[in-house]
Structure 1
Amino acid sequence: MAGGFTLTSPDAKDGGTLSEQQVSNVFGCTGGNRSPALEWSGAPADTKSFVVSLYDMDAPTGSGFWHWVMFDIPADVHKLDVGITADKGAPQGAIQSRADAGVPAYLGACPPPGQKHRYVFTVTALKVDKLPLDSSASGALIGFMGNANALAKATITTTYGR
């Protein structure tokens, strides 16, 4: 994958702890449930679209937990604003999937009490304009199709515990 492709955020620092604004407001958590602002640069010149995801690799499910997946983000988009919801703020043409929470929107971190989890924000540059999927696609399926069409990836890994 391309070495110059980077992902940054004023709200989620690589190696840092998520703020209460990025924490869920359901499942016993009382955070702001606001998606962080994300910005990426250095994508390969032949990028045709992007996938953005948030994955909890430590969720006690046997398969992790997809907190947020957005795909078919146009190649000329290089940032997402803070606070994207199911019906506001996504780039024109982008699709948010239901992910593992069952709704097509961001769901903030909320590990079980007494646990600290790792949360990985990933932007994947794709060689295709669109994935042959819709908003009902699972995070795993979008990940599979995204990886099959990936040119490069950039990540931020954060933690949150309670």
Structure 2
Amino acid sequence: MRMRCLVVSLASSWRHRSLAVGAMLALFAAHSAGARADEPFTLTSASVRAGGTVQNAQVFDRNDCKGGNRSPQLSWRDAPAGTRGFAITMFDEDAPGRGWWHWAVAGIPATVDSLPENASSSGFLRKLGAVEARNDFDTDGYGGPCPPPGKPHRYIITVYALNSADLRLAQGRPALMFDHEIGTAAIGSARLEVNYGR
């Protein structure tokens, strides 16, 4: 009888320990998932540094600006749940009037989390099925910084997480139209601010 009670007691104790361990593992998993979900949506670049100066490779290549006009390398992570696609813009908020659109691209698949340098003119974006706007230089795709001589301008590079994979935008439509359509579908964004002056 004592042996039977001991076995029952040991079995009960083992069951309680298993339940406790299981509960702790479940809590840990939930906490880890929550921690991942709370990570901020971030944008980084190997070509430009947040708060830094744009390098000559990214500067425009017409008139009195003699840069490489290569769109910057970009990487992003921790996009919000429900993301079905991405869009990117580059805007000079210090240009006179309403500012100056340097780049707008939409239709980047949700499976993509980075663009190589020069994705705009190399054909990389076209291979993804993405479309690019006509910038304020009146060219399609990326147009790098080229402010008038004087105080440096601030350029805002933004990646948007979208709730739609298709904004029904066509290649070469004005960047302002891209901006409007991107705004209607954006569920999150991450940005870099860089500087350039002459």
Query: What's the TM-score once normalised by structure 1's chain length?
Result: 0.93
Decide whether the 8 Å contact of 2:87 with 2:107 is kept in 1: yes
* Stretch deviating more after TM superposition (81-90 or 136-145): 81-90
1:29-52 Cα deviation digits (max 9, x unpaired): 111111110000010121011111
Q: Kindly state the Cα deviation for residue 136 of structure 1 after the two structures are TM-superposed.
A: 2.9
Decide whether the 8 Å contact of 1:48 with 1:75 is kept in 2: yes
Unaligned stretches of 5+ in structure 2?
A: 1-37
Alignment of 1:7-156 (within 5 A): 7-60=43-96, 62-86=97-121, 88-90=123-125, 91-156=127-192
Decide whether the 8 Å contact of 2:70 with 2:121 is kept in 1: no
Q: Which has the higher strand share?
A: 1
Paired letter, 2:86: F
Q: What is the CA–CA distance in structure 2 between the aligned matches of 1:98 and 1:139, rounded to whole Å?
A: 6
Query: What's the TM-score once normalised by structure 2's chain length?
Result: 0.77
List structure 1 runs of 4+ shifted beyond 3 angstroms.
none
Decide whether the 8 Å contact of 1:125 with 1:150 is kept in 2: yes
- The aligned length equals 160
Q: What is the CA–CA distance in structure 1 between the aligned matches of 2:120 and 2:79, rounded to whole Å?
A: 25
Percent identical: 39
Decide whether the 8 Å contact of 1:86 with 1:104 is kept in 2: no
Change (3 A) 1:149 1:132: same
Q: Which residue number corresponds to residue 157 of structure 1?
A: 193
Q: What is the CA–CA distance in structure 2 between the aligned matches of 1:105 and 1:142, rounded to whole Å?
A: 12
State the structure with bigger RCO (CA 8 A, min sep 6), 1 or 2.
1
